């Protein structure tokens, strides 16, 4: 889920990003009891596909909770939060958009 308390990021080159958190409704998801909420679970990265249509990809951050609830998802290391730097690069599986998030900016690959 998007976190309305955290600002969206304009990474440049037409790329924006939204922080996502992980806060399941435990009354209907008791299997998650004992697993803490995570304010910054990952990042929704929005961009234009090669034909100009809107597209998006998702980066799940590497963390203890992420490894528990999304064990088979690729993970990204948060090198720094401010300014945001992720490792490795991000490649959109839908359209092939590829680049790096370094020092809070999108760097095309």
pLDDT recorded at residue 6: 77
In this prediction, residue 7 carries a pLDDT of 85
Q: Which parts of 5-79 fold into alpha helices (H)?
A: 64-69
**32: helix, strand or coil:** helix
Domains of the chain, by residue range, sit at: 9-108
Low-confidence ranges of the chain (pLDDT < 70): 1-5
User: Can you give the pLDDT at residue 4?
Assistant: 61
């Amino acid at each position: 889920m998007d976190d309305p308390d955290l600002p969206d990021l304009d990474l440049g080159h037409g790329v924006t990003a939204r922080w996502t958190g992980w806060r399941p409704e435990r009354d209907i998801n008791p299997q998650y009891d004992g697993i803490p909420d995570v304010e910054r679970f990952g990042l929704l990265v929005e961009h234009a596909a090669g034909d100009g249509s809107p597209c998006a990809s998702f980066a799940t951050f590497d963390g203890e909770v992420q490894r528990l609830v999304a064990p088979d998802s690729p993970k990204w290391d948060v090198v720094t939060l401010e300014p945001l730097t992720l490792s490795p690069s991000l490649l959109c599986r839908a359209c092939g958009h590829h680049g790096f998030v370094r020092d809070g900016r999108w760097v095309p690959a």
